[in-house]
C-alpha cells in the first residue's frame, strides 16, 4: 500500500505540491508564533526579577513591560509599605545599542540595591556619562574599561564590566538613572518599574495583593506567567497563535479534502477495480487516508523549516526584536507536527466516506 500511495502522489505532482505548500504556510506560522511566545515568557521572567528583585511594579495596562511608565514620586510611599524591605527605580531602554540591538540598557539609582548587587569583574562603577557593561555583552563586542560605546544618540565611556547571573543584565548595559531617562526621553519623575525586595515572612502573593490595593494604577508582578498575561503584546500573540491554529486547521483540511476528493473522482474506476479484486472498504479508506496524511507530512516538514526561518524575522516585524529572541522548543515543534497531521486526517474524512460507499459495478460502468 505504501508503494501505491507514493505512486499516486507522484502522478499528481503539481496538485500534491500546492496542497503541501498551503499546509506548510499554516504550520510555519504556528512554529514562528509559538517560538515568539516562548521567547516572551523567558524575557518576561527575567524582567520581573531584574536586580534579583522579588517582584516588579509596572504600569497597569501597559502594552508590554518595557513601555511601562510609573512616577518616581511614588517611591517614598512605596518604601513605607510594611511588606517592602527595599525598593529602587529602574529605567529600561530597548534597541538603543546599535552594535547589539537586543541589548537592554538599565538605568539604576546609585544607592539602590540593584546597583549594590552588581559584581564588578573589571573597572569601577559608572558615573555620569559612563556605563558598566555585562560580561557577556563585553565579550561579544570586545569591550574593555576605557572603551567608547554608542548608545542611541550619545557616546558613553565604559567604566567597567559586571556579572549578575541574569541573562538580560549580563547581555546588557547599566547606566545611571538620569542618563537612562534622558536616553528614553523620560522626565526626571518617570521610570519604567520599581524593583522590590520583600520583608521577611512576606510572600509574593500577599505583597501583590496589598500593593495592588495601595497602588491601584500599578501592577505587581512576581511570576513570569503573570507578566505574560499582563502585556497587551503578549495577549496579542497568544490570541494570534489560537487564531492561526484554527485557520490552519480549517483551510488546510479543506485543501486536503478538495485534493483527495478530486483524486477519488478521477480514480473511481481504479478504486472500483481494486474493490473487485478483493480490497475491502476499510482498505480503500486506508489508502485515501494514507495519501492525505502523506501530503500533510510533506507540508508539515516544509512548514517546520519555514517556521524556523520566520521565527527569526517575526520579532522585528512586530517591533519586539530589540528585547526578545525566539525560543524554539521540542514541545512547540511537536504541537506543529500534531496540527499538521490533524489537517490530513480531517481533510480525508469526506473523501473516505465517498470511496467506501462507491459501488464497484457502478464505478466501472462510468466512463
- Give the chain's largest Cα–Cα span: 92
Q: What is the pTM of this model?
A: 0.63
Q: What pLDDT is recorded for position 235?
A: 56
The answer to whether 163 touches 111, Cβ cutoff 8 Å, is no
Q: Is residue 228 part of a domain?
A: no
* Pairing relationship of beta strands 104-108 and 190-191 according to DSSP bridges: unpaired
The tens place of each residue's pLDDT in the chain, 367 residues long, gives 677 677 767 777 877 788 888 888 888 888 887 887 777 666 666 666 777 888 888 888 776 777 889 999 999 999 999 999 999 999 999 888 888 877 889 999 988 898 888 889 999 999 999 999 999 999 999 999 999 999 988 999 999 999 988 777 888 999 999 999 999 999 999 999 999 999 988 888 888 888 888 999 888 887 665 555 545 455 555 666 677 778 777 887 888 888 777 777 777 777 777 777 777 778 877 888 888 888 888 989 998 999 898 888 776 665 555 556 777 888 888 988 998 888 888 888 888 887 777 654 444 444 4
Domain residues for the domain of 290 are 2-42+234-365
152 plus 243 within the same structural domain = no
What gap in Å lies between CA 363 and CA 277, rounded to an integer? 14
What gap in Å lies between CA 94 and CA 101, rounded to an integer? 8
Q: Is residue 354 part of a domain?
A: yes
Q: Which residue has 478538495 as its cell numbers?
A: 258
Q: How many domains does the chain have?
A: 2
Q: Which residue has 517611591 as its cell numbers?
A: 75
Q: What pLDDT is recorded for position 363?
A: 42
62 plus 127 within the same structural domain = yes
CA distances in angstroms from 84 to 59, 78, 244, listed in the order given: 18, 8, 43
138 plus 239 within the same structural domain = no
36 plus 61 within the same structural domain = no
Amino acid at each position: 500500500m505504501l508503494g501505491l500511495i507514493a505512486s499516486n502522489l507522484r502522478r499528481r505532482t503539481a496538485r500534491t505540491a500546492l496542497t503541501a505548500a498551503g499546509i506548510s504556510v499554516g504550520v510555519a506560522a504556528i512554529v514562528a508564533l509559538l517560538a515568539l511566545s516562548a521567547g516572551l515568557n523567558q524575557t518576561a521572567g527575567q524582567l520581573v526579577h531584574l536586580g534579583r528583585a522579588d517582584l516588579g511594579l509596572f504600569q497597569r495596562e501597559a502594552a508590554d513591560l518595557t513601555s511601562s511608565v510609573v512616577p518616581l514620586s511614588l517611591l517614598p510611599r512605596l518604601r513605607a509599605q510594611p511588606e517592602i524591605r527595599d525598593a529602587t527605580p529602574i529605567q529600561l531602554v530597548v534597541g538603543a545599542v546599535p552594535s547589539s540591538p537586543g541589548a537592554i540598557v538599565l538605568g539604576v539609582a546609585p544607592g539602590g540595591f540593584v546597583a549594590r548587587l552588581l559584581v564588578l569583574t573589571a573597572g569601577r562603577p559608572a558615573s555620569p556619562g559612563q556605563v558598566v557593561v555585562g560580561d557577556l555583552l563585553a565579550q561579544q563586542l570586545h569591550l574593555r574599561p576605557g572603551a567608547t560605546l554608542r548608545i542611541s544618540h550619545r557616546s558613553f565611556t565604559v567604566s567597567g564590566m559586571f556579572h549578575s547571573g541574569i541573562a538580560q543584565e549580563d547581555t546588557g548595559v547599566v547606566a545611571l538613572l538620569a542618563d537612562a531617562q534622558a536616553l528614553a526621553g523620560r522626565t526626571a519623575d518617570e521610570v519604567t518599574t520599581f524593583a522590590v525586595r520583600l520583608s521577611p515572612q512576606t510572600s509574593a502573593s500577599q505583597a501583590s495583593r496589598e500593593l495592588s490595593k495601595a497602588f491601584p494604577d500599578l501592577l505587581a508582578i512576581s511570576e513570569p506567567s503573570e507578566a505574560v498575561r499582563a502585556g497587551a503584546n503578549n495577549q496579542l500573540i497568544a490570541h494570534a497563535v489560537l487564531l492561526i491554529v484554527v485557520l490552519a486547521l480549517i483551510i488546510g483540511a479543506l485543501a486536503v479534502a478538495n485534493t483527495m476528493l478530486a483524486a477519488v473522482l478521477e480514480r473511481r474506476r481504479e478504486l472500483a477495480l481494486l474493490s473487485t479484486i478483493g480490497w475491502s472498504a476499510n482498505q480503500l479508506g486506508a489508502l485515501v487516508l494514507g495519501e492525505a496524511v502523506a501530503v500533510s507530512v510533506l507540508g508539515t516538514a516544509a512548514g517546520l523549516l519555514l517556521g524556523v526561518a520566520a521565527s527569526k524575522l517575526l520579532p522585528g516585524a512586530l517591533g519586539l526584536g530589540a528585547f526578545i529572541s525566539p525560543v524554539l522548543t521540542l514541545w512547540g515543534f511537536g504541537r506543529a507536527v500534531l496540527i499538521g497531521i490533524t489537517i490530513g486526517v480531517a481533510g480525508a474524512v469526506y473523501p473516505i466516506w465517498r470511496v467506501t460507499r462507491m459501488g464497484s459495478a457502478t464505478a466501472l460502468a462510468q466512463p
